Structure 1
Amino acid sequence: MKRFVGLSKTPTRSSSPLGPALPNGLVIKVQAAADAPFTVMFEPTGMSYDLAGGESMTAVVENAADNAIEIFNWNGGISIVPPGNVTTYDAAGNELNFLN
């Protein structure tokens, strides 16, 4: 079973309830169920991340206020279509990529 963990708008912060300190923006955290690895893809860039069972990642969307975010489920993963630039992080809070 795939699981979407959370979406939250966050103010300036030094720490986050979703993990390590992250920059301002719309925070998206996704986590694979323990027995169901899957892929997270960000459109329109096509950047994808393969999450092992139980693994999670976080993305922060810049300037997302009053915009829509689309999330599509497909066999083996999800696609996220954010309304702006995205910075992705691993579960430990290390920056992975800046997507624009």
Structure 2
Amino acid sequence: MFKIKLSVAGDVAGAIGFEPAGMFYELAYGECIYVHLNASQMEALEVTYWDGGISVWIQGEFVILDKAGKKLDDLWGG
């Protein structure tokens, strides 16, 4: 398993979205979330950046954790 840290770049708050599930998280400046992925998911991972956020495309089941390690969601990506 891999644990990937995701945050919004720059000195602003922003959003991180998970496609194709459609789940978005609004993060304050300096906040982050983590995603647990396996090796095959890492190979197919796609990340798109825009002003104020990122979109992450992940295949299969994955878990979203807050910065303290508390589970936020179990998601499925097409």
Q: TM-score range by the shorter chain?
A: 0.7 to 0.9
Gaps of 5+ in 2: none
Greater share of residues in helix: 2
Q: Which has the higher contact order (CA 8 A, sep 6+)?
A: 2
Identity over the aligned pairs, expressed in percent?
36
- Give the Cα separation in 1 of the matches to 2:34 and 2:59: 16
- In structure 2, the partner of 1:81 is 57
Q: Which consecutive segments of 4 or more residues in structure 1 shift more than 4 A?
A: none
On the 8 A contact 1:40/1:77 being kept in 2, the answer is yes
Greater share of residues in strand: 2
Larger radius of gyration: 1
Name the count of aligned residue pairs: 76
Q: TM-score, normalised by structure 2?
A: 0.82
Gaps of 5+ in 1: 1-24
What SS does the aligned partner of 2:40 have? coil
